[in-house]
Structure 1
Amino acid sequence: MQRRRLLKLGIGAAVIIGVAGAGIALIKPGLVDGKLGPGAREVMRAAAQAVLSDLLPSGAARDAALQAQLARLDATIAGFPAATRKELSDALGLLGTAAGRYALVGLSIAWAQASTQDVQQALDAMRLSSSNTRQQVYHALRDLNVIAFFTEPANWQAAGYPGQREIP
């Protein structure tokens, strides 16, 4: 195969994937009425377990902590400008699909079935990827979860932060 033909094929595939991803995001948005939709909830729940794994309690308390995390994510996202919410909705909509999950995250297992270790490995691969898009998606998943988690003062001690000091 000649180099030009290979480049044309690559560009064509990228355009097709981009158009398909945009179409999917329009049909199945990540945010519904400004809150995480069902697919986005699965994405963010799996990401939360991977990113916050050591900070979350174990057992039955873990599920309650994850539900609280998703509620904090909804509240955090509600405070974003409309343009940012739109971009996030598109990205989460795409990540909620099998094709988007595999293309952007490299995860062949559905979010709900993936183990914490599977998601952690996928996120680490995204962090180290040469693709700026994959790195941006990684930072969005990680940063959103960390920001939402630490908006709750009860979670500060999990990171060794004793809380705010009084300034005399």
Structure 2
Amino acid sequence: MTTSLPATPALSRRGLLKFSLGASAFLATAGLGASLSGCSAQSPAHGFLTLREGDLPILHALIPVILAGTAAADSREALLQRLDNKLASLSPAMLKLTRQLFDVLALPVTRGPLTGIWGSWEGASSEQIQAFLRRWESSSLNLLRMGHASLLQLLQMAWYEMPESWAQCGYPGPPKV
């Protein structure tokens, strides 16, 4: 077993700066593209407080994969309403970050390279979505790992708050007062 460092580092300072500059330019371009294309419109979809029309296909694709083994697919609309209420109670800064996450997932120029899903969310298979989630979960980029955790936490909190989920996990419900 060797404890010495390699003679040439895998990524030099200059390489790191070039990568950072390129990534910053890419994200700035994607953000500008999202705002110009109307992808980041702030108006909610019909019947929702915060979820936008562009967020719904993403969530419809993610719910059966993230909540596999539960009855969440049968309660998808109720789950989306619960999630929408959760998002409505977030601080403006947290809601903005969540919307930016959905924008990155919705915009084709960022969705493809960052998730590996090059087509629409409606056409993505469960295997493609699982691969995207594994990719983000084990990413070397902290931002992608945080995005993965956010998606899981948002959907799991919304699902396990619903009475339909309680029997499945053995929770009898809140105590009667």
TM-score by length of 1: 0.81
Residue aligning to 2:39: 28
Residue aligning to 2:70: 55
More helix by share: 1
| RMSD over aligned Cα atoms | 2.3
The one-letter amino acid paired with 2:20 is I
**Partner SS state of residue 80, structure 1:** coil
Larger Rg: 1 or 2? 2
Residue aligning to 1:144: 154
Q: Describe the superposition over 1:21-80 as per-residue Cα deviations: whole angstroms up to 9, x where unpaired.
A: 3224434227534421122111122121111121026xxxx4x52122212111111111
Task: Report the CA distance shift for 1:135/1:6 in structure 2 as closer, same or farther (over 3 A).
Answer: same
Gaps of 5+ in 2: 1-11
Residue aligning to 2:27: 18
Maintained 8 Å contact 1:30/1:36: no
Question: How many Å separate the matches in 2 of 1:14 and 1:47?
Answer: 26
Question: How many Å separate the matches in 2 of 1:156 and 1:51?
Answer: 17
Residue aligning to 1:153: 163
Question: How many Å separate the matches in 2 of 1:111 and 1:14?
Answer: 24
Residue aligning to 2:5: none
**Partner SS state of residue 38, structure 1:** coil
Maintained 8 Å contact 1:30/1:96: no
Candidates 136, 145, 151, aligned match of 1:126: 136
The one-letter amino acid paired with 1:23 is L
TM-score by length of 2: 0.78
**Partner SS state of residue 69, structure 2:** coil
Measure how far apart 1:122 and its partner are. 1.4
**Partner SS state of residue 54, structure 2:** helix
Q: Number of residue pairs matched?
A: 160
Maintained 8 Å contact 1:25/1:89: no
Gaps of 5+ in 1: none
Structure ranking higher on relative contact order (CA contacts 8 Å, 6+ apart): 1
Question: How many Å separate the matches in 1 of 2:41 and 2:165?
Answer: 27
Measure how far apart 1:127 and its partner are. 0.9
Which of structure 1's runs of 4+ aligned residues deviate more than 6 A? none
Maintained 8 Å contact 2:116/2:128: no
Q: Describe the superposition over 1:87-143 as per-residue Cα deviations: whole angstroms up to 9, x where unpaired.
A: 111221121012222233233342111122321221122111111011011011111
Identity level (%): 24
Question: How many Å separate the matches in 2 of 1:24 and 1:158?
Answer: 43
